[in-house]
Amino acid sequence: ACELAAVNMAEENSRVKALRDKLEQGLLASIPHSILNGHKTDRLPNTSNISFEYVEGEAILLHMDQYNICASSGSACTSGSLEPSHVLRAMGVPFTAAHGSIRYSLSIYNTEEEIDFVMEKMPPIIAGLRQMSPFWKADA
């Protein structure tokens, strides 16, 4: 089993990275004021952290849950906290974006259809939440 896993690891990492890249490119292109947090290339192939300005991460997660989309707000080490990630703040992520940070963790079991589904559902989720946000200016 270990030998088989080792043989397939590089191929699966490439496939998962391609899914992650597709997700990021789709969300960043379709949702204004979204920010990729972290280095664009030197990082794990399965993890993406994107901030959506002017909305709260917990509110995003509640709406995502209605579609059975699993993600987390903030980093793994700060999950459960309502404060924005101190790491994102130290990286210079604006306060308006750090609160709307969502961490997507992909695996070898994710499919391209699931990525397409997330890319379809996220823009209206973010747009709807921004309409309720006292910080959002439609012309921003």
Would you name the residues annotated as active-site residues?
77
Conformation bin of residue 54: beta by default, left when phi > 0, alpha when psi is -120 to 50: left
For residue 34, the 8-state DSSP code is: E
Q: Which helix (H) or strand (E) holds 105?
A: strand 101-105
Q: Round to whole Å and give the CA distance between 107 and 44.
A: 11
> Residue 105 phi/psi, 5° resolution?
-120, 120
Q: What is the DSSP letter of 84?
A: P
Residue 57: exposure state from Cβ atoms within 10 A (0-12, 13-18, ≥19): buried
Q: Which of 3, 2, 48 is nearest to 22 (CA)?
A: 48
